[in-house]
Structure 1
Amino acid sequence: MVSPASDPVANFRSIAKRFDRRWFWLLPLLAGAVLIAPKIISKPAAETSAPVEVLPVQTQILDPASEYQVERTYTGEITARRSSELGFEQAGTLVKVLVEEGDTVAAGDPIARLDTRSLQTQRQQLEAQRRQALARAQELQRGPRQEDIAAAAAAVQDLQAQVDLARLQQQRRENLYAQGAISQEERDEKAFNASALENRLSQAQSQLDELKAGTRVEQVNAQDAEVDQIDASLSSVDVSLSKSTIYAPFDGRVSQRLIDEGTVVGAGQAVVRLVEGEALEARIGVPANQADAIAPGSPQTVEVNGQFFSATVTALLPELDETSQTVTVVLALPAEAQPTIGATARLILQDQQSETGYWLPTTALVAGDRGLWSAYVLTEPEEPAADGHRVARREVEVLYTEGDRAFVRGLLQPGEEVVTSGTHRIVPGQLVQNQN
């Protein structure tokens, strides 16, 4: 007898019976799959693809402009309207400096002094000479006294008597000489004495006549001139005394003290530096082509240390700065502006540029190759009922930027809508939806 395990036919039949019972329920599913497979395969590919993404964006309608203003800034410094390095007009020893650095002084206040002892002595001598000359002038103006006239007349009479006696003696000597009683020397001696007395008499008579006639005008004038000369010398000394003190020429502040007491200073040597503290101005270099548009008296905006002031143009210097080749514009700051002297000042000018273009926010600009820029504009919808727009790329040139906007020109048309947000997610042909 053969066992079932050793009979192959019996084994196959047993396996077939088990398969039929286990997989019989799958037969209807397999049949259904065979029937619907052709329909699935025959559907269009579009029905199986993912839906197209429509990006929401913000836009701006292009409005052309025929010009734009460029803000230009030029740099200079704050200066005092007046500043001076003060010194003496004459040499001398500095004995006193009356101010310190930072002190405020008013016009006319003394600042420093020289030693004036020698000048004071010279003045005293001149005063004594003046008193003497003035007394002589007064005497001449009053004329001679009667006592002087009487004394002069007495002197003339005395000399006349002496002359008469001398002539008589001379005559006697002539007779004696003719008789040979005396020598020629004795005769000549008496003749000489008579002649000398006659000269003295003539001089005394002239003095008497002068006294009787009174003082001559020329003498009075000469003495007056001597008094005037002494007065001029006194005035010169007084000028030297006044120049021995430095006085403030204007209201201001002492910015530097350059020399101390005890120094022998030369004429013109600076002792202190004084700057006018109230009236400040800005001196700013501007290119010549820009300076032509600046009129004296016009208001301009000046920025100093973050503060903005309305300054007034007081002058445009006629010569170009040799270093910068610019025109120096001088602007007076308002009284309330008190920046530090030497601080940096900036002049802000608006330069009008005539150019047709469009103002766009910088978010609308897309960087391109080789430094070029572009913007995206909306095109007309493909279908009237479509919810979105395709975007097209337009090349633009950036002419000027101001804060968060730029002035551009390029292949843009008035009335077009430019995408202003989300440009980093957009490519040409992208479908977008305007969210304005």
Structure 2
Amino acid sequence: MSFPRSKSMWLLMAGLVSGVAIFVAANAWSGDSQASGDAASKIVIATGSRPLPVTVLSLGELSAPPRVDDYRGTIEASKEAELAFRRSGRVFSVAVEEGDVVRRGQTLAQLEVDDLAAIIEATQARIDEAEAMLAELEAGPRAETIAAAAAEVSRLSAAVKLAQITTQRELELQRSNSSSIQTYDNARFQALQQEAALEAATQQYNELKAGTRSEQLVAQRARVAMLQAELKGYQVDLRDGRIVAPFDGVVGRRYLDEGTIAGPDRVVLRVLQTDPLEARFGVSPEDVRGLAPGQPVTVTLGEAAIQAEIGRIEPELDRSTRTQAVLVKIPRQQPRPDGSYADGIVPGRTASLSLGAVRNGGADSYWVPITSLARSTRGLWSLMAVVEGPAGQSIVQRRDVQVLETDTRLARISGGMIAAGDRVVAAGLHRLTPGMAVAPVDREALRQVESLSLN
């Protein structure tokens, strides 16, 4: 079966469709109890002296639309360290290569330390000697030594008595001219010598009985402590002759090889902590207020969307960008034995972060559809307010407003000529002129009419 394609035939068909639509609308109007039919009559029949149907809304009815801010950031290691020896020397070995996985405390590089090992052994021997002497002083003299000193005192005491008797005898002989003065003097001085020797032996005996003096103990203990401190210093130098991994990670760069003279100013290795990786974003302070550590977020890398969480937020503002740094932890999607990430997630790659932000609205500002606005004069915009006219009909009046911000379909406005609850025309301002009679239709009734026409 073929259908006519002439222009007259198409016009005839259009007329028939229009007639059916008018008939349906008229039947809907005739039912006073049907609210949807009443709304349909206002929209479909707009001929003659009838008011023009318009869709209206009340100011304050629309809430602020969600806002999504996109930020660009960079994937980076959560920790990184450039490692160097703390003392100078020749590099003996470097045990890792670039890309190797390392564990905390693992020895990564070593200096030649034979000279330090010899110094440590010699210092340890001196400490052993000093500690032995200190132990002897703390123990005090032996009982045998004290007994020998007592015997020496007894011997010298007897010798003193003998010398004194001899001196007395020589004195009597000298008085009777039976002996010379020289012989008497020799006996007298011999007695003095014996007395002095007895005094010295007595003092030594008393010292041995009293034990070691506290000053000697303090001096010897200080010597032992000084030698132990020297040993610790040499042991620190020995530890400084090697580089250990400060955390679990991956070797990013190796700068020196064996045989090179290294020192504190020469970096040997660069180690990165890649579990987890982090993405650094500079976020506006307004958006940061809605964030907290541990909060889940979505990070986009190329075509992949990764579920991550906020790790930390830096407390100060970057003076150059006027943003705050937000560090997002990137979970490992597919673990690999070498510690790397799958899907090309590596430090230095660019990532995106989308954040929903809350729009701030004032008490005297309202959200309206962009279709309800028309450009006015002096940089202002205008909308049509629906008010009651002199004859009790609804008419429209022009109101000038200021646009504060816009979204894809909405705009936030303010002005002294509008207030909360005012009804305004939502669309179709090109058909209206100030003072024109209109038939307001709210958005809910409009949706009922649309559903009726579809059925």
Task: Normalising by structure 2, report the TM-score.
Answer: 0.58
Match of 2:150 in 1: 153
Deviations for 1:284-339, whole angstroms, at most 9, x for unmatched residues?
11222332333333222222233222222232212211321211112122232831
Query: Does residue 72 of structure 1 match 2:69?
Result: yes
Is the 2:308–2:329 Cα contact (8 Å) retained in structure 1?
A: yes
Is the 2:369–2:426 Cα contact (8 Å) retained in structure 1?
A: no
Match of 2:273 in 1: 276
Instruction: Work out the number of aligned pairs and report it.
Output: 331
Q: What runs of 5+ residues in structure 1 fail to find an aligned partner?
A: 1-49, 361-396, 419-434
Match of 1:92 in 2: 89
Match of 1:346 among 348, 352, 373: 352
Query: Does residue 123 of structure 1 match 2:120?
Result: yes
- Change over 3 Å in CA distance of 1:195–1:269 after alignment to 2: farther
Match of 1:286 in 2: 283
Is the 1:358–1:409 Cα contact (8 Å) retained in structure 2?
A: no
Taking the aligned partners of 1:191 and 1:305, their CA distance within structure 2 comes to 116
Report the 3-state secondary structure (helix = DSSP H, G, I; strand = E; otherwise coil) of the residue aligned with 2:268: strand
Deviations for 1:402-429, whole angstroms, at most 9, x for unmatched residues?
xxxx55799x9447699xxxxxxxxxxx
Match of 2:79 in 1: 82
Q: Which amino acid letter does the alignment assign opposite residue 149 of structure 2?
A: A
Report the 3-state secondary structure (helix = DSSP H, G, I; strand = E; otherwise coil) of the residue aligned with 1:67: coil
Taking the aligned partners of 1:89 and 1:96, their CA distance within structure 2 comes to 16
Report the 3-state secondary structure (helix = DSSP H, G, I; strand = E; otherwise coil) of the residue aligned with 1:273: strand
Query: Does residue 357 of structure 1 match 2:344?
Result: no
Match of 2:292 in 1: 295
- Please report how far the alpha carbon of residue 154 of structure 1 lies from its aligned counterpart in structure 2 after TM superposition: 4.0
- Change over 3 Å in CA distance of 1:164–1:305 after alignment to 2: farther
Is the 2:368–2:410 Cα contact (8 Å) retained in structure 1?
A: no
Q: Which amino acid letter does the alignment assign opposite residue 84 of structure 1?
A: A
Deviations for 1:322-380, whole angstroms, at most 9, x for unmatched residues?
321211112122232831112112221223446321699xxxxxxxxxxxxxxxxxxxx
Aligned-residue identity in percent: 34
Q: Which amino acid letter does the alignment assign opposite residue 120 of structure 1?
A: A
Equivalences for residues 22-61 of structure 1 within 5 A: none
Q: Which amino acid letter does the alignment assign opposite residue 97 of structure 1?
A: V
Is the 1:62–1:358 Cα contact (8 Å) retained in structure 2?
A: no
Report the 3-state secondary structure (helix = DSSP H, G, I; strand = E; otherwise coil) of the residue aligned with 1:102: coil
Equivalences for residues 314-329 of structure 1 within 5 A: 314-329=311-326
Is the 2:294–2:311 Cα contact (8 Å) retained in structure 1?
A: yes
Is the 2:371–2:428 Cα contact (8 Å) retained in structure 1?
A: no
After the TM superposition, which of the residue ranges 286-295 and 70-79 deviates more from structure 2?
Answer: 286-295
- Change over 3 Å in CA distance of 1:106–1:150 after alignment to 2: same
- Change over 3 Å in CA distance of 1:409–1:130 after alignment to 2: closer
- Please report how far the alpha carbon of residue 105 of structure 1 lies from its aligned counterpart in structure 2 after TM superposition: 0.5
- Change over 3 Å in CA distance of 1:176–1:114 after alignment to 2: farther
Is the 2:371–2:426 Cα contact (8 Å) retained in structure 1?
A: no
Match of 2:258 among 248, 257, 261: 261
Query: Does residue 136 of structure 1 match 2:148?
Result: no
Q: What runs of 5+ residues in structure 2 fail to find an aligned partner?
A: 1-6, 15-53, 335-340, 362-366, 373-402, 414-423, 431-452
Taking the aligned partners of 1:93 and 1:164, their CA distance within structure 2 comes to 76
Equivalences for residues 162-241 of structure 1 within 5 A: 163-164=160-161, 195=192, 197-215=194-212, 223=220, 226-241=223-238
- Please report how far the alpha carbon of residue 173 of structure 1 lies from its aligned counterpart in structure 2 after TM superposition: 8.4
Is the 1:312–1:331 Cα contact (8 Å) retained in structure 2?
A: yes
After the TM superposition, which of the residue ranges 244-253 and 125-134 deviates more from structure 2?
Answer: 125-134
- Change over 3 Å in CA distance of 1:194–1:90 after alignment to 2: farther
Is the 1:359–1:408 Cα contact (8 Å) retained in structure 2?
A: no
Query: Does residue 336 of structure 1 match 2:333?
Result: yes
Match of 1:251 in 2: 248
Taking the aligned partners of 1:193 and 1:101, their CA distance within structure 2 comes to 91
Taking the aligned partners of 1:328 and 1:196, their CA distance within structure 2 comes to 94
- Change over 3 Å in CA distance of 1:205–1:293 after alignment to 2: same
Taking the aligned partners of 1:196 and 1:269, their CA distance within structure 2 comes to 75
Match of 2:102 among 83, 102, 105: 105
Give the root-mean-square deviation of aligned CA atoms.
4.8
After the TM superposition, which of the residue ranges 168-177 and 297-306 deviates more from structure 2?
Answer: 168-177
Taking the aligned partners of 1:126 and 1:167, their CA distance within structure 2 comes to 56
Taking the aligned partners of 2:172 and 2:233, their CA distance within structure 1 comes to 68
Is the 1:66–1:356 Cα contact (8 Å) retained in structure 2?
A: no
Match of 2:378 in 1: none
- Please report how far the alpha carbon of residue 87 of structure 1 lies from its aligned counterpart in structure 2 after TM superposition: 2.4
Taking the aligned partners of 1:284 and 1:262, their CA distance within structure 2 comes to 42
Match of 1:242 in 2: 239
- Please report how far the alpha carbon of residue 98 of structure 1 lies from its aligned counterpart in structure 2 after TM superposition: 1.2
Q: Which amino acid letter does the alignment assign opposite residue 318 of structure 2?
A: D
Q: Which amino acid letter does the alignment assign opposite residue 346 of structure 1?
A: S
- Please report how far the alpha carbon of residue 101 of structure 1 lies from its aligned counterpart in structure 2 after TM superposition: 1.2
Report the 3-state secondary structure (helix = DSSP H, G, I; strand = E; otherwise coil) of the residue aligned with 2:275: coil
Is the 1:73–1:346 Cα contact (8 Å) retained in structure 2?
A: yes
- Change over 3 Å in CA distance of 1:296–1:128 after alignment to 2: closer
Taking the aligned partners of 1:409 and 1:208, their CA distance within structure 2 comes to 108
- Please report how far the alpha carbon of residue 226 of structure 1 lies from its aligned counterpart in structure 2 after TM superposition: 4.4
